[in-house]
Amino acid sequence: RRRAELRALALGQGDFQLRDQEGRPRRKADFRGQWVLLYFGFTHCPDVCPEELGKLSHAVELLEREPGLPPVQPLFITVDPERDDAAAMGRYLRDFHPRLLGLTGTPEEVRAAGSAYRVYASAGPRDEDGDYIVDHTILIYLLGPDGLFLDCYGRSKSAQDIARSVRRHMDTYEPLPD
């Protein structure tokens, strides 16, 4: 029943076409067959995004310590493509998990990716230096190997909570019939 409900949601089922921090094209289909923890944010975020990416990275590290578990691919999609080009993403992501991929694209491509996950993002007013903050949805999404959204984690969830939940999903996972 849960799988049928998830499929009916159509949340995250759309494909995206973005580029990673190395400039390579990436699509959602590239991650099919993998477990994915996905976060939308921006590199100029003063506090929330670094905290959430740190938590996501730590959850992946906790899962990596457990023998026999499949790897989890950490993904970060920008909501600020104006400032977050591939080079900016590469510099920013050095501080997090070594396999964390950062994805960016044109404003239209980024908006389409966010739309597929019902991500809200809105740039605030610019200050005298031209800097601005982007208000956005703060969730970490879990995608199963079939690419389907399985769960999400808000700010109140710790890395340990996320790792436990992902483990439970891995233990009970059954691929959806086509």
pLDDT of residue 122: 93
CATH of the domain at 162: 3.40.30.10
What's the rounded Cα separation, in Å, for the pair 40 and 152?
12
Token representation of residue 77: 């999609």
Once rounded to an integer, what is the mean pLDDT over residues 17-24? Answer: 96
Give the count of domains, the chain. Answer: 1
pLDDT of residue 174: 85
Assigned domain for 39 exists: yes
71-94 residue pLDDT tens: 999 999 999 999 999 999 999 999
Assigned domain for 119 exists: yes
Among candidate residues 4, 25, 36, 29, the one with its CA nearest the CA of residue 14: 29
For residue 49, say whether it is annotated as part of any ligand binding site: yes
Once rounded to an integer, what is the mean pLDDT over residues 27-49? Answer: 95
Q: Is the per-residue pLDDT at 11 higher than 60?
A: no
Assigned domain for 178 exists: no
For residue 152, say whether it is annotated as part of any ligand binding site: no
Range of the domain at 63: 1-172
Assigned domain for 57 exists: yes
Assigned domain for 120 exists: yes
Assigned domain for 101 exists: yes
115-173 residue pLDDT tens: 988 899 999 999 998 899 999 999 999 999 988 888 999 999 999 999 999 999 999 99
> Which residues pair with residue 123 across a beta bridge?
134
pLDDT of residue 148: 86
Assigned domain for 69 exists: yes
